[in-house]
Structure 1
């Protein structure tokens, strides 16, 4: 609201200056009303316009870059969480408690997006507590041979799919991984 009053004050000053100069222009000396003086004033005004547009362009570009960086970070974090959840799912029912804690963490993180401020003030956030709980529950997981084989198959098949999409030969990779 304060910026609105500042904008209105600047607008009022500009209108007052315009009206004042319209009143006093005929009374100015002739060399102030000359074409050379008008040309210099126009050039100075054009410099202000160009500089203002340059600054606005740079500000918009900076905001766009910041938005794209945040967007890429969020997509990367979401991808990591999805891969983590799929890996936990590959271990079977032993990881159900950890997956439930991960879901609880995500629900709390979405409900309270301002938890970064708490870290700057050296306060423990609720989201950090849920992440600690996830870490503690991960130490309780004891993988079985069957679940490790299942995770290995998932990893290898996703590696083969991603490299075949990139133009690699899936038959040579299947020869290197006969467990498939």
Structure 2
């Protein structure tokens, strides 16, 4: 019986949102900005307190069979692509945008932002409290240890961790 309310919500989402895959679970409360620029795959699940902010004309895509834990915060100014079979623990931050600090006499809040495409491959697991920064690329079959800060490109079949994240071992 507990599944009936979320199945009804999933059906309503599918009717009114063209960019939804098959069965989708969106936990509440949930903040979605730029919904028309977000694409959810089939069997996509996101748990409560997520915040997804997508700028006008940006592209944010979640693959099929993905599960995202509580308190995800995702910022997309240009392009964030997340592959299939993605598993994400709670309190994760993903962004394709960084603040720059290049102007000497300009307050930090007024500095321009710099965007770089962020891509997360298929079958990737992000541990608790992971931060994925702008321009990061995670290959397929990658495990990211809890509390890691990811910047840069990582190949397929690796476990990474640390601040900044480095390859711990091959999988």
TM-score (norm 2): 0.18
Greater share of residues in helix:
1
